[in-house]
Amino acid sequence: MKKVISVLWMLMLALAVSVNFTSCGNDDEPENKYEFLGSWEFDSEDDPYMVTFKEDGTYTYQEKAGTYTVASEKVTSDTGEEEKTVITCKNENYSEKFIFEKVSETDKGTELILYSFDENRIGEKLSFIKK
């Protein structure tokens, strides 16, 4: 009987330890959350402009400035609903959301891909080059 109780205590201890380890991670944080920080030029010959995302949660876009937040949100696409990293830019007159797709190296330099995002639908692709 003493051996059974001892085995039960060991199982309970092992279960408690495994629950603690699996609950330590923060799965709500996007892995690539801040790859977009820095100054970027819109990749267009017709309408070039700069946008800068700073580490302190502020951004500048042409003459506009404001704050941004980053969160993981459910987004509806042609293939269904999926979690995406969404950047929400705000100032006193403006609020717009963008889906952060990726930062990658291209023949033009480091490229940032964002998509416009409205009412849970993915919109236009926006390409920026790091400056």
If you average pLDDT over residues 61-77, what whole number do you get?
Answer: 88
pLDDT in tens, 74-125: 887 777 888 889 999 999 988 999 999 999 999 999 999 999 988 777 889 9
Question: 66 and 54 in contact (C-beta within 8 Å)?
Answer: no
Which of these, 104, 37, 95, 45, lies nearest to 66 by C-alpha position?
Answer: 95
Domain ranges in the chain are 28-130
Q: How many CB atoms lie within 10 A of CB 128?
A: 22
Residue 21 is predicted with a pLDDT of 47
97: exposed, middle or buried (Cβ count in 10 Å: 0-12, 13-18, 19+): buried
The H-or-E segment that residue 43 falls in is: none
